[in-house]
Amino acid sequence: MKQRTIGREVSYSGIGLHTGKKVKITFKPASVDGGVRFVRVDLEGKPQMVAEVTKVIKASRETSLGEGELKIQSVEHILAALTGLGIDNLIIEIDSDEAPAADGSALPFAQVLKEAGIAEQKKEREYLELKEPVSYVKEDVYLIALPDEELKISYTIDFDHPVLKTQFASFVINEDTFVKEIAPARTFGFESEVKELREKGLIKGGSLENAVVISEKGILNKEPLKFPDEFVRHKILDLLGDLYLIGPPLKAHIIALKSGHGANVELVKKIHSLKRERIPLKKEIAEIQKRIRTKEILDIKDIQKILPHRYPFLLVDRILELEEDRKAIGIKNVTINEEFFQGHFPGYPVMPGVLIVEAMAQVGGILLLSKREHSGKLAYFIGIDKVRFRKPVVPGDTLRLEAEVIKIKGRMGKMTTKAYVGDKLVAGAELMFALVLRERE
């Protein structure tokens, strides 16, 4: 799927739910990789900020973003519309400190954006695909994101209230499902809370026009519910808005129980942190596999997409040959600038034997991790046998590193490795390994 923006500028006006202020919001097309940026046009200099979880300053009854003097409350319904419509790049100008409440749902925003036209851009979307479950649990609140091929939400709410008790809904999220089944669901609250919220200076713009209010006997609104389970659908809407703050669109099955904005944001923070890890995309691995099949050399950029190692511990410069599940050959150029030569040994620089073994192991790691199904894993070496060092390796040498699979069974395996300088064997070892998922903090 290509990245998307809108075809033309479009605006929407309303009042803020909590501030009661009149507000105009204008959506403008943005360039490829521009992301979503909020711009406060009512402030001097028109400050702007990216829509990202690092900018969250409040997540309770609503999600609010801030950076310096720029603050915007209640952005979740707008962001839910962007999630549902698959919009990646957008400029959002706003002339107040709270987004308009509209009718309490995301449908008015989705409609105005669709009127502007959804425009595909030239660059492919890059999705964030989970490699393992990510969860947030606190008391009776549960959120878990499971690896999946699409975005799916399964949500349960459970209230101790005579009218609203337990509701469950589950949807695969796409544009059609969002617009028809989720976007119309309105925000809701309990009549018993209204007085307390007003005393706190909240819901100044709240009314039966932009929220469903639930009493002990039923809803106070004249208009009937949009869906029998409208309340849990709105919770899904809120979650979709918070998920947009991850950045790249997410592929996962999210299971939620009694969650709200605070818990949503905590889960989003955990998932957002995965972006910083050097886990290759499936697309990158596919491109590398294509180069392997055509027997092309893999350079240092390719190697960094496969291995997590970085300076000063990345000890492979190039892969010359690679046969999947069988054999790999790489090289390491040894120079006097290597950090370890400062102490090993002054006046007589010799490459430590353990680092020669590590270099051989890294070639073995590339052999294992270049497979698509092993993307996002680590090759932990759990045993070394038959290690022999036959000749010193010194600055100016070029190590030719070979790794050949002896056997692989499940996530365990064994390989033989050798290191040459020219045609001389300088070291060799048999390595045992286990493939494991990368740990998350």
Distance, CA of 297 to chain centre: 31
344 is catalytic: yes
Q: In 3-state terms, what secondary structure has residue 31?
A: coil
Residue 99 to residue 37: CA distance in whole angstroms: 14
Gap between the Cα atoms of 243 and 83, Å rounded: 8
Which residue from 386, 342, 339 is spatially nearest to 360, judged by alpha carbons? 386
Residues 6+ apart with CB under 8 A from 97: 16, 19, 21, 40, 71, 72, 73
Q: Which of 18, 77, 234, 261 is catalytic?
A: 261
Find where tokens 């890294």 sit.
362
**Closest Cα to residue 201, out of 55, 13, 21, 25?**
21
Helix and strand counts by DSSP (H, E) for the chain: 9, 24
CA distances from 296 to 282, 291, 312 (A): 19, 5, 26
Mark out the alpha helices in 244-342 (DSSP H runs): 261-273, 282-293, 300-306
Nearest in space to 323 (alpha carbons), one of 430, 424, 415, 386:
415
**Known catalytic membership, residue 309:** no
Q: Cα–Cα distances in Å, from 85 out to 35, 92, 234?
A: 14, 15, 16
Other CB atoms within 10 A of residue 193 CB: 14
Just list the catalytic residues: 261, 344
